[in-house]
C-alpha cells in the first residue's frame, strides 16, 4: 500500500473518530438536559410548609368513629364509596369521597419531602403519612412545570400566571379563575389559602364544561390529548366546606378503562357540585384514607411519585 493511501486511510479514521466523539457529546448533552428537566431534583425551598406535623403523636387528635370507608368526628365527616359503571360500553371503577368540614382549616396541602421545587416526588401515601393525614388525594403535580400560581397553606411559592386555576378560600368556598387576570398577592388578600394549576374546569355554576376535545393542559414533553378515557383525579364543591373528591382508576384492561373528561364532569354534576376542577391524573391518581391506598392505580397496586397532595387532618 502506498504512503499516500495509508495517509488517507488514517485521516479517514480520524474523521470517523471525530464525528463519533461529537455525536456522543451531543447525545450526552441531550440526555443531561432531559434528566435535568424531568429527573434531577431542583430544590427551591426547604422546609417549605412550617406547620407540617411530622410526628405521629397527635395523629387523629380528636374523638372519632371510623371504619374502612368512613370517618366521623365533631369537626369533620368523610364517607367514601366505591362505584363501578359500564356506561358508554366500557367498565370503569371510581371512588367518591364526600367530605364535610366544620372549618376549612382542616383542608390542607403538602409537598413531597416538604420541599418546593422541580422533580421532587414521593408517593401520595407517604406524603399523607408524614402529615398525619386522615384522607388525601394527589394534587396538581406543580413540580412538572415552572409556571402557574402556587399558593399553599396561605404561603406563595410561585407567581407565574399561565392557565385556568383553582382557588380554595378560608371561608370554605372554592372558585376557578383565570391566572392571567390576577396575581398571587391579590388572591391572598381575598382570602385564598390554596391554589392549584392544572385543569380544565369540569363544572362551573352547576353546568358542565363543553368541548373538552379542544383542550390541552400543557405543552410539556410527553403531554397529549387529555380527552380520551384515562385515570382521573378531581375536586368539587357542593356548598361551603362540603367537598367531593373523586379518583378514577383506568388504563387497566378488564378492571377499569377510565373516564373521558365529559364523563368525569357529569359525575360531579350529578352529585350536585356547583363547581369542579380536574387535577393531575394518569398514574398519579391516588386516594388515601387512614393508612391505606383506597384505589388501585393503573390496576397494578403501585403508586407513582407526585410532587404534592391535598389532604384532610
For 206-229, write each residue's pLDDT tens digit.
999 987 766 655 544 444 456 789
Q: d(Cα 119, Cα 135) in Å, to the nearest integer? A: 24
Contact of 232 with 248, CB cutoff 8 Å: yes
pTM of this structure: 0.87
For residue 204, what pLDDT is reported? 97
Side-chain-side CA neighbours of 188 within 13 Å: the count stands at 14
With cell 421532587, the residue in question is: 120
pLDDT tens digits, 25-42: 777 777 666 665 667 788
Instruction: Please check the confidence at residue 21 and state whether its pLDDT lies above 50.
Output: yes
> Among residues 258, 152, 132, 238, which one has the least CA distance to residue 195?
152
> What pLDDT is stored for residue 221 in this prediction?
41
- Which residues fall within 8 angstroms of residue 259, CB to CB, at 6 or more apart? 92, 94, 229, 230, 232, 248, 250, 267
pLDDT value for 217: 53
What does the alpha-carbon distance between residue 244 and residue 150 come to, in Å, rounded to a whole number? 22
Which grid cell sits at 99?
Answer: 367530605
Lowest average pLDDT, out of 5-9, 51-55, 155-159, 185-189, goes to 51-55
Cα distance between residue 202 and residue 154, in whole Å: 25
b/e burial code for range 234-268 (CB count within 10 A of at least 16 → b): bbbbbeebbbbbbbbbbbbeebbbbbbbbbbbbbb
CA 213 from centre of chain: 21
Residue 216 phi, psi dihedral angles, 5° rounding? -140, 155
pLDDT tens-digit map of 168-198: 999 999 999 999 999 999 999 999 999 999 9
When the pLDDT of each residue in the chain is averaged and rounded to a whole number, the result is: 89
Percent of the chain with pLDDT over 90: 72
DSSP 193-231: EEEE----EEEETTEE---GGG--S--STT---S-SSB-
Is the confidence at residue 9, as pLDDT, over 90?
no
d(Cα 113, Cα 54) in Å, to the nearest integer? Answer: 11
Q: 5-19, 94-108, 193-207 — which is least confidently predicted?
A: 5-19
Amino acid at each position: 500500500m502506498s504512503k499516500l493511501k495509508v495517509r488517507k486511510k488514517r485521516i479517514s479514521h480520524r474523521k470517523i473518530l471525530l464525528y463519533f466523539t461529537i455525536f456522543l457529546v451531543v447525545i450526552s448533552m441531550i440526555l443531561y438536559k432531559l434528566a435535568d428537566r424531568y429527573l434531577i431534583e431542583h430544590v427551591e425551598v426547604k422546609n417549605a410548609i412550617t406547620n407540617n406535623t411530622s410526628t405521629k403523636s397527635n395523629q387523629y387528635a380528636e374523638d372519632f368513629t371510623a371504619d374502612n370507608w368512613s370517618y366521623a368526628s365533631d369537626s369533620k365527616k368523610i364517607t367514601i364509596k366505591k362505584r363501578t359503571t359500564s356506561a358508554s360500553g366500557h367498565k370503569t371503577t371510581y371512588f367518591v369521597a364526600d367530605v364535610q368540614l366544620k372549618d376549612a382549616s382542616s383542608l390542607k396541602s403538602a409537598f413531597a419531602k416538604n420541599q418546593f421545587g422541580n422533580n421532587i416526588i414521593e408517593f401520595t401515601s407517604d406524603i399523607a403519612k408524614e402529615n398525619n393525614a386522615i384522607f388525601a388525594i394527589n394534587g396538581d403535580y406543580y413540580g412538572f412545570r415552572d409556571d402557574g400560581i402556587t399558593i399553599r397553606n396561605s404561603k406563595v411559592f410561585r407567581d407565574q400566571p399561565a392557565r385556568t386555576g383553582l382557588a380554595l378560600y378560608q371561608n370554605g368556598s372554592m372558585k376557578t379563575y383565570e391566572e392571567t387576570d390576577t396575581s398571587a398577592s391579590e388572591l391572598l388578600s381575598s382570602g385564598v389559602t390554596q391554589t392549584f394549576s392544572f385543569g380544565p374546569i369540569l363544572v362551573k355554576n352547576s353546568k358542565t364544561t363543553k368541548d373538552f376535545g379542544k383542550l390541552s393542559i400543557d405543552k410539556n414533553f410527553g403531554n397529549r390529548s387529555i380527552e380520551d378515557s384515562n385515570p382521573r383525579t378531581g375536586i368539587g364543591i357542593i356548598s361551603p366546606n362540603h367537598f367531593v373528591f373523586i379518583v378514577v382508576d383506568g388504563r387497566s384492561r378488564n378492571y377499569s378503562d377510565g373516564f373521558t373528561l365529559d364523563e368525569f364532569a357529569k359525575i360531579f354534576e350529578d352529585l350536585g357540585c356547583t363547581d369542579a376542577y380536574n387535577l393531575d391524573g394518569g398514574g398519579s391518581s391516588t386516594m388515601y384514607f387512614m393508612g391505606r391506598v383506597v384505589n388501585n392505580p393503573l390496576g397494578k397496586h403501585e403508586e407513582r411519585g407526585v410532587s404534592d397532595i391535598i389532604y384532610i387532618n
